[in-house]
Structure 1
Amino acid sequence: MSQHFARGLLLLAALGLSGCAAFSPDSGMTAVSDLASQTINKDVAFVRSAEGAAAVDARVRQLLSRTLSADAAVQIALLNNKGLQAAYNELALAEADLVEQSLPPNPVFSLSRITGDGGNEIERQVVGDILALATLPFRSEIARDRFRGAQLRAALATLRLAADVRRAYVRAVAGSEMVGLLTDAKATAESTAQLALKLGETGSLNKLDQAREQVFYAETTADLATARQAAGSARERLARLMGLWDDGLDFRLPNQLPPLPRRPLALPTIEADAVAHRLDLQIARLELAALAKALNLTEATRFVTLLDLAGISRRTQDPEGPPFRERGFDLQFQIPIFDGGEVRVRQATETYNLAFNRLTERAVNVRSEARDAYRAYRSTYDIAGHYQREIIPLRKIITEEMQLRFSSMQVDIFALLTEARQRLAALRGAIDARQRFFLAQADLQTAVNGGGAPAAGGDNPTNVAAAAPAEGGGH
């Protein structure tokens, strides 16, 4: 009997192994690479060898050899950021879990020998978990869904990093541009303050006008110091996100933000695009499907929590007689007297319902986020364009006219300086407006593809959103 049982266990194990998952050559990175290429047109790399690290270093040095663009900064971060590499390590661990869940349980072989009263008894047992073998296909399918979710989470971490780098790049370049503008303004204000001081000494300028010029110089000096601090912090954040240190910190940034695009994007179907493409929604859909399968499995096994079947072979050696062999089997299972599985079924059901309601809420929020992101994108484009087309050209005309009138002695120096201060304010407003537009542009891409800040509570099946309400149907 025990030999037949052992053969049966081996046969079941062989059947289970026929559907087992195996480790992939890239630890599931192909899906991440494809999503990154299709969504943001960038390369990713999972560095697991010295050769891979050397290739990444060479690519990073090449990108750093010239003035950084936003796309180059994103590419450096995707290759060089160690936090992203840790996210890819989590994907590799998820694949290990998938392989583990797809393997049948190992049978247990035990051998015991008892000696006493001049006799020997040898007992052998082969024990197998029949329930684990029976549910192996279901558990393997659930594990495969969760691995697919892990791939999407790695892709989401990639998009999140890319979005953060774009925002940091915009702030760093805008900060550098503001520092340049205020440096020139400080030089002009210093010359004006010195002139006012000399005029005051000759009695040609009263104390009120002297104080106005001095305070403008003092305020500009303070603004420049503040701008330098902000620009330095923005540059450091960009360096952190790109994973740079030591020699890599001397990267070059352009002196100013790029001009506005000629026309804004028209996205009439942005809500549908967001629901279809958001990776956090895709993750939640997979998690909800896995919870549904787990609920079905829980209901199917609610009355059997332990089922072990053992094949027994016992050989007894009696010194006064011939040896004899005994065969049989031993079956152990729990009797559901106090807990019939209702608790586990209720827990699984409520976990599924919780996740369903969370995903429906998130789907509604995603639509709202997409609409709001597009409104912000269009409004910031219009505001920045207004500065570019109207305010700055008009300020230039006013400055030129004031200079002509000053040359013909129609206005004094202080009227010209007042206009210079107003033009400085307009230029600062224009830089801020362009910065807001490019930040809104990055936020718009995030609203459609994902990659924003993590949802409160983390990316777990009960806190991350899922499908659109129309797809959820009911439960």
Structure 2
Amino acid sequence: MVVLRRLSPPFTHTRSCIAALSLICLSALGWPALAQPDNALQAADPATPASAVAPLALPATGATAPQERPADIARAREIWQRANERVAEFPRGHADLLRWEARNPGDAAPAAEGNSARPEPLDVAQALRLSLRLRPDLFTHADMNALDQAAVQVAYAGHVRDVQRAWVDAVSARQSWRHASELWDATRTGSELGRRMVVAGNWSQAKLMREQLTEASAWQVSVNAQGTALAAQERLAQLLGLWDAQAVARLGERLPASLPAPPPRAAPGAGLSETTLEAAVLRADPLLNLQRTEAQRELNAVSASRRQTWAAAVDAALVAMPDPGTASTPPHIGNLSLLRDHPLERATRAEASLLRAASERRSMARQAWAELQARHASALHAQNVVAQLQAALEQETVLRYNGMLQSSWDLLASARERMQSLDAALQARRDYWRAHADWQALLNGAGYAGPDTASNAGAGTTTTPAGH
């Protein structure tokens, strides 16, 4: 089931049902109940005991000092023989040896890694319900007029979009952090292998330092990815009203391991087609519907001939207007009888304002739909083409390595490239779900601000040099 489904407005249920459901969700997640009357007072009170903020688990930095070489030939031969004997114990040579030693500091045999049970993931529907407890302004009331209800509907659709995008960003950022950590681990393996080869006398210091630079760049990418993940998690925590450090940390544990895969094809929605998109977006805007009713009433109060006279005066003023390159003078109407006709003035203003709003709304529909299609195509391409090709290339490199046709460096470089392609596919998937949230918000009455510059690129955040 795709979690980013359209959500029915919560105000269709009773307030007591909403409160009960939110309390159940909070209890299941192990978070403090927001329904406590003094919860906000505790959060805002500097005297409230706060949980200790856990320090960042930063990866260890690599060594920068040049590797000391053996002083004599006999010592060098001894080191070289011992290193090759250790490598011969593993079928894939250096790469297997380094990975085994990283997992097994002692001499014990490698142990199978157990899969720790993950807590129940927090989906976007639960996140939305939790966030609405902080937004009483997004609930409609029985005594609201049509204009107030329309304003709440538009604001609610925008809030749903914000929660969906924050959830998508938090999930994808944590996954990207894992990719960056794995990439750093691969570069660390290459750096350690180079260090041993320098000790054995098979490699130069210059080659080792290039591997160390690659490792240093990967370390920085991993740290940046961790910062991005924590920032996205904090943004989601703000929308949910989580203020305790431990509760925010548990939020990260509740997020799913990955985003759902995009659907096979980009669809505008149930009962919608390319020819009915604009109409659906127009109908979804309650403020525009009220504006259209008001403009119709104002236009009906003025005769058609009077409006034609005004249109002729406008055309004449536009023709007489000086060229913009010679003077900055606005068009001018001198017919006082037209200017003092207040019903005509209200009708023309209402008509012009409605035309601007309708044009903007139709443009939003075209832009959002085009963006959704482009992001969907990019996500499928990265997932089904680029990532698959990179996986096949890595497998071919492994086969050639096992056949002693390629070196350990080719194997490590192939692994790094595949991790980068996986992260690029993740970013493309994230961009699709953000575009999907924008499209759903537009269909529910919110506006469309356009894609963010950072997320529109659809490229991974990993920029580690390829190395050897």
Q: TM-score band (shorter)?
A: 0.5 to 0.7
> Residue type of the partner of 1:41?
S
Cα pair 2:172 2:426 within 8 Å, conserved: yes
Deviation at 1:347, TM superposition (A): 7.0
- The aligned residue for residue 72 of structure 1 is 126
Three-state SS of the structure 1 residue aligned to 2:213 is helix
Q: 1:193 to 1:212 in 2, by over 3 A?
A: same
Q: CA separation in 2, counterparts of 1:72 and 1:157?
A: 19
For the aligned residues, what is the CA RMSD?
3.4
Deviation at 1:174, TM superposition (A): 0.5
- The aligned residue for residue 8 of structure 2 is 41
Q: CA separation in 2, counterparts of 1:283 and 1:273?
A: 16
User: Which aligned pairs between 1:385-424 and structure 2 lie closer than 5 A?
Assistant: 385-424=380-419
| Aligned partner (choices 20, 31, 55) of residue 55 of structure 1 | 20
Matching of residue 380 in structure 1 with residue 375 in structure 2: yes
Deviation at 1:156, TM superposition (A): 1.3
Q: CA separation in 2, counterparts of 1:229 and 1:203?
A: 39
- The aligned residue for residue 164 of structure 2 is 166
Q: CA separation in 2, counterparts of 1:238 and 1:284?
A: 35
Three-state SS of the structure 1 residue aligned to 2:406 is coil
Cα pair 1:87 1:157 within 8 Å, conserved: yes
Deviation at 1:245, TM superposition (A): 2.9
Q: CA separation in 1, counterparts of 2:346 and 2:219?
A: 59
- The aligned residue for residue 176 of structure 2 is 178
Q: What whole-Å deviation, never above 9, does each CA across 1:230-283 have from its counterpart, x for those lacking one?
A: 111111111222233336432210111111212221532211111122234234
| Aligned partner (choices 265, 273, 291) of residue 284 of structure 1 | 291
Q: What whole-Å deviation, never above 9, does each CA across 1:109-142 have from its counterpart, x for those lacking one?
A: xxxxxxxxxxxxxxxxxxxxxxxxxxxxxxxxxx
Could you tell which deviates more after superposition, 258-267 or 364-373? 258-267
Matching of residue 264 in structure 1 with residue 229 in structure 2: no
Q: CA separation in 1, counterparts of 2:223 and 2:188?
A: 15
Cα pair 2:295 2:350 within 8 Å, conserved: yes
Matching of residue 451 in structure 1 with residue 446 in structure 2: yes
Cα pair 2:160 2:441 within 8 Å, conserved: no
Three-state SS of the structure 2 residue aligned to 1:44 is helix
Q: 1:398 to 1:371 in 2, by over 3 A?
A: same
Structure 2 unpaired stretches of 5+: 31-119, 303-336, 451-468
Q: 1:69 to 1:227 in 2, by over 3 A?
A: same
Matching of residue 81 in structure 1 with residue 88 in structure 2: no
Three-state SS of the structure 1 residue aligned to 2:11 is coil
- The aligned residue for residue 334 of structure 2 is none
> Residue type of the partner of 1:263?
R
Q: 1:200 to 1:60 in 2, by over 3 A?
A: same
Structure 1 unpaired stretches of 5+: 1-37, 96-146, 296-341, 456-475
- The aligned residue for residue 47 of structure 2 is none
Cα pair 2:295 2:351 within 8 Å, conserved: yes
Q: CA separation in 2, counterparts of 1:413 and 1:424?
A: 17
Q: What whole-Å deviation, never above 9, does each CA across 1:198-238 have from its counterpart, x for those lacking one?
A: 22233322334323321221111111111111111111111
| Aligned partner (choices 215, 218, 237) of residue 217 of structure 1 | 215
TM-score normalised by the chain length of structure 2: 0.60
Cα pair 2:147 2:287 within 8 Å, conserved: no
| Aligned partner (choices 226, 232, 237) of residue 234 of structure 1 | 232
Identity of aligned residues (%): 26
> Residue type of the partner of 2:261?
P
Deviation at 1:179, TM superposition (A): 0.7
Q: 1:395 to 1:218 in 2, by over 3 A?
A: same
Q: CA separation in 2, counterparts of 1:355 and 1:208?
A: 73
Q: CA separation in 1, counterparts of 2:297 and 2:347?
A: 9
| Aligned partner (choices 416, 425, 429) of residue 424 of structure 2 | 429
Q: 1:447 to 1:410 in 2, by over 3 A?
A: same
Cα pair 1:42 1:75 within 8 Å, conserved: no
Q: CA separation in 2, counterparts of 1:419 and 1:386?
A: 20
Deviation at 1:149, TM superposition (A): 1.0
Deviation at 1:437, TM superposition (A): 0.8
Q: CA separation in 1, counterparts of 2:294 and 2:138?
A: 18
> Residue type of the partner of 2:415?
A
Three-state SS of the structure 2 residue aligned to 1:204 is coil
Q: CA separation in 2, counterparts of 1:450 and 1:275?
A: 8
Q: What whole-Å deviation, never above 9, does each CA across 1:409-444 have from its counterpart, x for those lacking one?
A: 111111112222221221121011101111111111
Q: CA separation in 1, counterparts of 2:290 and 2:199?
A: 74
> Residue type of the partner of 2:185?
A
Matching of residue 253 in structure 1 with residue 255 in structure 2: yes
Cα pair 1:63 1:72 within 8 Å, conserved: no
- The aligned residue for residue 205 of structure 1 is 203
Q: CA separation in 2, counterparts of 1:271 and 1:230?
A: 36
Q: 1:453 to 1:181 in 2, by over 3 A?
A: same
Three-state SS of the structure 2 residue aligned to 1:257 is coil
User: Which aligned pairs between 1:100-115 and structure 2 lie closer than 5 A?
Assistant: none
- The aligned residue for residue 190 of structure 1 is 188
Q: CA separation in 1, counterparts of 2:239 and 2:363?
A: 29
Report how many aligned residue pairs link the two structures: 315
> Residue type of the partner of 2:122?
L
- The aligned residue for residue 306 of structure 1 is none
Cα pair 1:291 1:352 within 8 Å, conserved: yes
Cα pair 2:284 2:442 within 8 Å, conserved: no
- The aligned residue for residue 152 of structure 2 is 154
Q: 1:165 to 1:286 in 2, by over 3 A?
A: farther
Q: CA separation in 2, counterparts of 1:280 and 1:184?
A: 49
Three-state SS of the structure 1 residue aligned to 2:278 is helix
TM-score normalised by the chain length of structure 1: 0.59
Deviation at 1:348, TM superposition (A): 7.5
